Chains A and B, each alone.
Chain A
């Protein structure tokens, strides 16, 4: 009995994950400023260091990307010309999921009907509309049309209606306008989000593939987004 009470009193002092981490409507509260701590911005696959490029373990499940033969050749050409061909070098909106793992913080503003994601990079905005269908017809948007829903405690965002002008990284990994991304945001603890993106694009890949990474909460006092107005420099 004494041991049981001791065990219970110990439990009472454990940080309770569910308490205080939920919004008024009972959903996990993802609000805050987040940033990756990886090298996916340079290359989402395993890569060695080069001048100005840190080595990194890839974020792609199984590491290999299932390109079609023609797409594999295009990826190689992209890589060879990456310094000038990368849309990021022109300061274009970077697309999804690339915006998530660029080396800049972003801020989630959460309400029941809409999750807005504000990115420091070029004041990029994503409005994730909750529980509504995609707009009719094909749109060709840089950041796509994002529709969210809750799968238990995971925010699932279905993104379609992309153009074919963005890449996945600075290594030339690319997609077409048939891209379909399903993102999953899951709190692991109050300060870490597990982020998964399933990529489907039958024009470029022979089957869907998945990437995953951890998003870290910025806890520095008075931390705020600044600006990286790419084309103003």
Chain B
């Protein structure tokens, strides 16, 4: 329900003629105004080196098999559901989200290193197309990790599951058993995730993505050639340094990296609740009224 409201807000940001229901602040929104998270500045570019330095001195709790224990339910306070992964002056959506500050730490200018045609495609995306997330389609990766409300990490045997509360039932299973990626025929919304430990850092490589989702509400996109390499490192007992590097030689001139913190939900007995989305969702009709079309992926230059 909550995230449907957020989608309504996103809708309003684009289709300004539609009326909007006022939002109640999310946990993420409230923490947006905090100057520090885990003792580090709450801006990605500064959080990144500070948190990694702290992680070096932190001995994480461990699972019975000795691997770091990342289990828990996590909020993404700085990512704000990826209203915009780049800087965005002024309100990125009505309802008081405030200006977006880029989560991109490399390149240093905080911009996605698109090829020129791809930058034009991104501009066209927000003019012409509906954010697939607003149609209740899966977030893809890394948007899953930035999405509103919570994601639960569970470590069990040779896999790690990541299950989201919002977004209309989405999850990923990360296989830790050394298996190879799926064959190239497979194109999945949430991709094929294979993980391993690099010291105390969980490294997840995701391929076989379908290139039909956006990173954010503002049209930032990838193709089905995308490879995402995520690194999750405990900074302290309740904070994860989350990093994702995107490589897509069809769309970007070089790899690029985002960083933001994940914070543990410490509320005792917190449970993820059901969020149906497509079931009874009427946002898409509003988009069609606004002249927007469903997004089916990038159009490559001839």
Contacts and interface: CB of A to CB of B under 8 A. Distances in A.
A141 B274 contact: yes
Interface in A113-163: 114, 116, 118, 122-125, 127, 129, 132, 141-143
B186 interface: yes
Contact of B163 (A110, A118, A142, A232): A118
Contact of B271 (A107, A109, A129): A129
A229 B272 contact: no
B71 to A, nearest CB: 8
A116 B190 contact: no
Contact of B274 (A92, A111, A142): A142
A226 interface: yes
Contacts of A222: 179-180
Nearest to B154: A109
Contacts of B271: 127, 129
Given A93-B169, A232-B137, A142 B156 contact: no
B161 A143 contact: no
B279 interface: yes
B186 A123 contact: no
A111 B279 contact: no
Q: Which secondary structure dominates where chain A touches chain B? A: loop
Size category of the A interface is 20 to 34
A123 B188 contact: no
Contact of A125 (B138, B169, B192, B269): B169
Interface stretch (B76-84, B119-127, B170-178, B220-228): B170-178
Contacts of A142: 274, 276, 279
Nearest to A110: B156
Contacts of B157: 31
B278 interface: yes
Contacts of A165: 279
Contact of A93 (B138, B171, B279): B279
Contacts of B21: none
Nearest to B269: A132
Contacts of B159: 109
Q: Which secondary structure dominates where chain B touches chain A? A: loop
Size category of the B interface is 20 to 34
Interface string A93-114: 1000000000000010111001
A24 interface: yes
B173 A227 contact: no
Contacts of B97: none
Contact of B278 (A91, A225, A226): A91
A13 interface: no
A190 to B, nearest CB: 14
Contact of A109 (B156, B272, B279): B156
Contacts of A111: 71, 154, 156
B156 A123 contact: no
B89 interface: no
Nearest to B276: A142
B267 to A, nearest CB: 14
Interface of B: 64, 71, 136-138, 152, 154, 156-157, 159, 161, 163, 169-171, 173, 175, 179-180, 182, 186, 188-190, 192, 212, 269, 271-272, 274, 276, 278-279
Closest 5 CB pairs of A and B: A141-B274, A222-B179, A92-B279, A123-B169, A109-B161
Interface of A: 24, 31, 91-93, 107, 109-111, 114, 116, 118, 122-125, 127, 129, 132, 141-143, 165, 222, 224-227, 229, 231-232
17 contacts: A92-B278, A93-B279, A107-B173, A109-B154, A109-B156, A111-B154, A116-B161, A123-B138, A132-B269, A141-B276, A143-B274, A222-B180, A224-B173, A224-B192, A229-B137, A229-B189, A232-B189
